Amino acid sequence: MALKVVQWATGGVGVAAIRAILEHPELELAGCWVHSPDKNGKDVGELIGTAPLGVTATNSVEEILALDADAVVYAPLLPDPDEVAALLRSGKNVVTPVGWVYPGERQAAPLVEAARAGGVTLHGTGIAPGGISEKFPLVLSALSTAVTYVRAEEFSDLRTYDAPDVLRHVMGFGDTPDKALSGPMQKLLDGGFIQAVKMVVDTVGFAADPKIGSRQEIAVATAPIDSPLGVIEPGQVAARKFHWEAVVGDETVVRITVNWLMGEENLDPAWTFGPEGQRYEIEVKGNPDFTVSLKGFQGEVGDPEETGIVATAAHCVNSVPAVCAAAPGVATYLDLPLLSGKAAPRLAVDRG
């Protein structure tokens, strides 16, 4: 019998998750929570641009809590621990790309209690953090011995990110350097990426300082740059770098870096993605040293969809069966079995 799944929020990740649920042979869409009153009462098919699905969107939390469902893919812009606790207490497993990839005991305690009360599990996942920043570096590190360094790095052109309000007011693009550096982005990113670094540190077994260092850098436009938030003028922020590092003594052993650029031209400093272009890159130093580049998760300007968002949703949806089968509490990648994608319906085994 298919597991019944609720989608919470219908932004980019939410819409992609709904499509992924519909394509998954073990899952069934059972409900959908929406933030906007304009979406309330609409068939979910209308929201994602398909034929009617027979599932009506609601902006009532109470209706979602009362639904008979096995799991919720929880994908708001920002997490609300009280919402997550309520979902868990209602007996619904929660898979989310917005937190709890590797939470500390104190942070996890209220949600562990809620999950155990509901007999269900919370799992944080996604892409970065939530996959390429810790899960896949750990998997690849098994190909080396005497590991001395693990790096995960993102190189992305944010001119493909069609969320102008987020780019300007949250991420600080188009602002002055001082305002961007003192804005909310570093703090918003710290929670997830510090957890990612700690997961690598703990699993590899580095004797690292428990305090994870974080820092950021800014590049400004030297000429007008077209972007989703409008024209970025000279002197305004047009590129950002964020770093998180764990050290043993004075030696960096784990580093995660995000490079977000509004293109590679007209920047000061003159940052570029290098000859390999947009990518995620994973490096392990040990015996042997190696580097892996992952492409296809960043698109080009004008592409119809953001493949990184689709991948984030896919990682969530493909996790649902394993999370539903896990012991109650908070489950990280270290607690779950191997996951995989599922065959396209036209190529899949007939389960009927």
**Distance in angstroms (rounded) separating the CA atoms of residues 278 and 299:** 8
Q: What would be the CATH architecture of the domain defined by 3-126+309-347? A: 3-Layer(aba) Sandwich (3.40)
The reported pLDDT for the residue numbered 300 is: 82
The reported pLDDT for the residue numbered 352 is: 65
The reported pLDDT for the residue numbered 77 is: 87
The reported pLDDT for the residue numbered 350 is: 79
The reported pLDDT for the residue numbered 67 is: 97
The reported pLDDT for the residue numbered 80 is: 96
Query: In sequence order, what are the residues at sequence separation of 6 or more whose Cβ sits closer than 8 angstroms to the Cβ of residue 139?
Result: none
Residue type at position 11:
G
Task: Say whether 135-296 and 3-126+309-347 share the same fold.
Answer: no
Burial of 117 (C-beta count, 10 Å sphere; 0-12/13-18/19+): middle
How many of the other CB atoms lie within 10 Å of CB of 86?
17
Burial of 143 (C-beta count, 10 Å sphere; 0-12/13-18/19+): exposed
Q: Are strands 93-96 and 121-124 parallel, antiparallel or unpaired?
A: parallel
Domain ranges of the chain: 3-126+309-347, 135-296
The reported pLDDT for the residue numbered 303 is: 81
Tell me which DSSP letter residue 296 carries. S
**135-296, which class in CATH?**
alpha beta
The reported pLDDT for the residue numbered 239 is: 98
The reported pLDDT for the residue numbered 13 is: 94
Tell me which DSSP letter residue 56 carries. B
Please state whether the peptide bond connecting residue 129 to the residue before it is cis, i.e. omega within 30 degrees of 0. Answer: yes
Q: What is the pLDDT along the chain (352 residues), one digit of tens a residue?
A: 899 999 999 999 999 999 999 999 999 999 999 999 999 999 999 999 999 999 999 999 999 999 999 999 999 988 999 999 999 999 999 999 999 999 999 999 999 999 999 999 999 999 999 999 999 999 999 999 999 999 999 999 999 888 899 899 999 999 999 999 999 999 999 999 999 999 999 999 999 999 999 999 999 999 999 999 999 999 999 999 999 999 999 999 999 999 999 999 999 999 999 999 999 999 999 999 999 999 999 988 778 778 999 999 999 999 999 999 999 999 999 999 999 999 988 898 877 6
Reduced to 3 states, what is the DSSP secondary structure of residue 233? coil
Reduced to 3 states, what is the DSSP secondary structure of residue 69? coil
**Distance in angstroms (rounded) separating the CA atoms of residues 322 and 90:** 19
